[in-house]
Amino acid sequence: MAECFNALWYSAYFSESPGLWQKKRGPLFELAWISYAGPRIANLIHPPQNIVVERQPDGGLLMAATTGPFNVANPTHLAAARDIADAVAALRDRPWPPDPPFH
């Protein structure tokens, strides 16, 4: 979906996620099951080894906590979602939306 709309950032959240958010900068880069970073910001993210990572042909980066349905009660799923949130933490300190160039 993110690629269809030329998205810069896209996340899919699970229903319990707002209760787990740190609310440091709103929901923009908070805990999510799936996150997509567009080509302009993907190079700023270093995905952890324990998540599903797909590099898109246009330079985008898709990260997922699991390949199956997400279960917040599954500690492995939740740990992977937290690792994705940690991987994108550097984006929280940058102006949003980013103005070109965003390096």
* Dihedrals phi, psi of 10, to nearest 5 degrees: -150, 135
pLDDT of 28: 59
Copy the structure tokens of residue 32.
């999510």
Q: What is the Cα–Cα distance from 98 to 81, expressed in whole angstroms?
A: 24
Q: What is the Cα–Cα distance from 38 to 62, expressed in whole angstroms?
A: 9
CB 9 within 8 Å of CB 20:
no
Average pLDDT of the segment spanning 68-88: 91
pTM over 0.85: no
pLDDT at 74 over 60: yes
- Would you give the DSSP letter of residue 2? T
Per-residue pLDDT band for 100 (boundaries 50, 70, 90) equals low
pLDDT at 17 over 70: no
Q: What is the Cα–Cα distance from 13 to 5, expressed in whole angstroms?
A: 18
pLDDT of 27: 41
Residue matched to tokens 């998205």: 7
